[in-house]
Amino acid sequence: MGARRVTQADVAQLAGVSQATVSLVLNGEQDRVGDATRQRVLDAISRTGYSANPVAQRLAGGRNQIVGVFAYEPVFPRGSGDFYRPFLVGIEGEAERWGCDLLLFTSAQVEGGRRRLSGKARAHLGVTDGCILLGHSEDKQELVHLVDDGFPFVFVGRRELPGAADLPYVGADYVGATYDVVRLFLDRGHQRIGFVGELSDRESILDRLTGYRTAMRDAGLRPTSFDPADLAPDEILDVVRDNRLTGLVLAEAYRAEGIRAAATRRGLALPADLSIAILGQPEVTAGRSVDSGLTWSGFRIPREEMGEQALRLLVELIENRADAGRHRLLPCSLEFGQTVTVPPHTAH
């Protein structure tokens, strides 16, 4: 049989206090225990390795120094794309600086491509001081419940909730970044620029669409946006031809290579005949086109910094910092690349 588990009574005996005093220290009731007594209890806890149930009781300062990470989709890649790695690198580095441990929640099974933050998964959050949430397929009603419960958490990515619920997040400034990419086209003489992206209520897509429309209207031009959900790359090029577009901005990076290949089959060269930019490259590890050798124009998302800032904001919320704020948007870096040039009718 294994060694006997250490109990509160063992801690009390070693510290020379009552078991009730140990409970007060574990529950963070600092004003009812003197500093010297509290320190003796904490020293006894450290020496015995005591943990309650097993880590849910709060230790020094009323916290466990454990931060949860919950992803709605699997975090470890099975293909070539590695969407979550930079976020996790940033989170891990910042956790090390703050001296806290990370707990990755994996017990919630993936159903239909996503996890749910309810039932057992929600109950498990209680062993942490707070949690960082990542993913595309969140249930917003679950997030409303987290806000209402007062549980500290931060979402990686801008999120808006129904009603008055104010969700803490660290996101990327897709509005400003998309505006700058469209200006890249405009400065080279383009006037017919199309937006290709899923028309949904996802904040990341809506922000890109807002940046595109604002830039076009500021230039006195008519926006042209369409949802490519049911369109093959060749059909997207048909839309380009029918609307006499000279440039495209793509909300989803994975469509870029298919459109480039379809253009090549039609005898169209990028960017001489059609300029294309990617509005962020979330699953492209390098900006270079696989087949053509071109470096895509567009912007890059500061994913590692978003992870760092999410952990930092979470710690500030746990500590009830009055100056913490609840929303942070980080700038993206513009990538000039090689896929945007002057439109065909002005090339000569």
- Please report whether residue 3 resides in a domain: no
- Please report whether residue 1 resides in a domain: no
- Clarify whether residues 108 and 32 are in a common domain: no
- Clarify whether residues 205 and 311 are in a common domain: no
Return the CATH number at 138.
3.40.50.2300
CA–chain centroid gap for 103, Å, is 17
- Clarify whether residues 160 and 285 are in a common domain: no
- Please report whether residue 2 resides in a domain: no
Return the CATH number at 17.
1.10.260.40
The per-residue pLDDT for 140 is 87
d(CA 17, CA 304): 47
Residue among 199, 257, 271, 193 at smallest CA distance from 228: 199
- CA torsion 29-311-172-210 (nearest 10°) is -30
Numbers of helices and strands, H then E, in the chain: 11, 12
Whole-angstrom CA distances from 274 to 150, 193, 258 are: 51, 10, 14
Beta strand residue intervals within the chain, DSSP E = 66-71, 101-104, 130-134, 153-156, 169-172, 193-196, 224-226, 247-250, 275-278, 297-300, 327-330, 333-335
Total domains, the chain: 3
- Clarify whether residues 230 and 339 are in a common domain: yes
d(CA 308, CA 154): 12
- Clarify whether residues 93 and 238 are in a common domain: no
Tell me which of 61, 77, 97 is where a domain ends.
Answer: 61
The per-residue pLDDT for 284 is 46
pTM above 0.85, yes or no: no
- Clarify whether residues 205 and 83 are in a common domain: no
- Please report whether residue 164 resides in a domain: yes
- Cis peptide bond prior to 331, omega within 30° of 0: no
What are the pLDDT tens digits along the chain (348 aa)? Answer: 345 567 778 888 999 998 888 878 876 665 678 888 888 888 888 787 776 543 334 444 556 789 999 998 887 766 545 778 899 999 999 999 888 899 998 877 767 767 888 777 788 888 899 999 998 888 888 888 888 888 899 999 999 987 767 899 999 999 999 999 999 999 999 999 999 998 888 999 999 999 999 999 999 999 999 999 889 999 999 999 999 999 999 998 889 999 999 999 999 999 999 999 999 874 444 445 545 578 999 999 999 999 999 999 999 998 887 777 899 999 999 999 999 999 987 544
Enclosing H/E stretch for 70: strand 66-71
Residue 19 structural domain: 8-61
Centre a 10 Å sphere on the Cβ of residue 111 and count the other Cβ atoms it contains.
8
- Please report whether residue 287 resides in a domain: yes
- Please report whether residue 16 resides in a domain: yes
- Clarify whether residues 198 and 144 are in a common domain: no
The per-residue pLDDT for 201 is 87
- Clarify whether residues 181 and 124 are in a common domain: no
- Clarify whether residues 144 and 276 are in a common domain: no
- Clarify whether residues 34 and 92 are in a common domain: no
- Please report whether residue 148 resides in a domain: yes
Q: CA triplet 115, 116, 118: central angle to 5 degrees? A: 150
- Please report whether residue 182 resides in a domain: yes
- Clarify whether residues 268 and 342 are in a common domain: yes
Q: Which tokens is 202 given?
A: 């996802």
- Clarify whether residues 321 and 193 are in a common domain: no
